[in-house]
Structure 1
Amino acid sequence: MARAATVFELHTSRENEFVDLTPRLRSLVEKSGVTDGTVVVFCPHTTAGLTIQENTDPELKRDILGALESMVPKDRPYRHVEGNAPAHVKAMLLGTSCTLVLDGGRLLLGRWQAVYFVELDGPRDRMVQVKIFPS
């Protein structure tokens, strides 16, 4: 039986930023006692997203944010009255959830992978929802 979703808060400090969620997710898995199953991570925001990406070279995160900016520039004539339409489009490209495999009490991530919350309209107070499903 699946346990209740865990919700945790985070505060971002920049307009665009990667926040590594992997240590928090590993801690939640350990505390849950579940050894095999799936972990679903969900971002309930429309101007932020989630991604699984390389965790070794910080320049890659800058490259990704730069590529998103090139694809979705701020100076386009957007109609959204709040002024953050580019963040909404970028969040749509990233997506709002990640599903991870849990095996033997470990998240099955690749050698260089981490799970990131990607802020696109900060700084803000945000939340992330996590649900662990035993198999």
Structure 2
Amino acid sequence: MGADTIRVTTSSRSVAVDITQAVAAKVRERKVSDGLCVVYVPHTTAGVTINEGADPAVMEDVMNTLNAMVPWRGPYKHMEGNSAAHIKTSLVGSSVQVLVEKGQLQLGTWQRIFLCEFDGPRTRKVRIALIPGSSPEAV
């Protein structure tokens, strides 16, 4: 099964964008009832994470803390000037996995999937691969 791509346009240098609904829509489109959903960001200055989405202050705190830990200006050697974005991406990661059961992402009550932009604003690609689960007869 091939991967689908969604595009996410970010509005600032550093922002977390909730992409949960777009990912869930791909699960519904593909009609995968049980399996695994892999969300992958093919960029070196943007990542993806799962965290609380009920209170927007949580992701704001996460992004602010990353910005404090890894300041935009520092003693970096990378000539392009966006070393901080590369470091934050390494800390957050480029992929997450979510179980799919009965056609639904099995996220926790408060969990959402976020694209984390560290070098925006830009339009980012997010790749979504769905791996169907095996049937009970095949196990």
Range of TM-score over shorter length = over 0.9
The SS at the match of 2:39 is strand
AA at the equivalent of 1:45: H
1-side partners of 2:59 and 2:37: how far apart? Answer: 24
Equivalent residue in structure 2 for 1:120, among 93, 115, 118: 118
1:56 deviates by: 1.2
Q: 1:83-133 CA distances to partner (integer Å, 9 max, x unpaired)? A: 000000000000000011001111110000000000000001110100101
Give, as a single letter, the amino acid of the residue that structure 2 aligns with 1:83: G
TM-score by length of 2: 0.93
- CA deviations 1:66-86 (Å, max 9, x no partner) are 110121112321111010000
Deviation readout 1:28-60 (Å, 9 max, x if unpaired)? 111111100000010000000000000011111
Q: Which amino acid aligns with 2:20?
A: T
Gap runs ≥5 in structure 1 = none
Answer whether contact 2:47 2:116 (CA < 8 A) is retained: yes
- The answer to whether the 8 Å contact 2:6/2:22 transfers is no
Which shifted more, 89-98 or 21-30?
Answer: 21-30
3-state SS, counterpart of residue 62 of structure 2: helix
Query: How many aligned residue pairs are there?
Result: 133
Paired letter, 2:66 = L
**Corresponding position of 1:98:** 96
Equivalent-residue separation in structure 2 for 1:26 and 1:69 (angstroms): 29
- Provide the C-alpha distance between the structure 2 equivalents of 1:107 and 1:62, rounded to a whole number of angstroms: 24
Amino acid at match of 1:42: Y
Cα distance between partner residues in 1 of 2:72 and 2:118: 12
- Specify which of 66, 69, 72 is matched with residue 67 of structure 2: 69
Q: Which amino acid aligns with 1:121?
A: D
Corresponding residue number in structure 2 for 1:50:
48
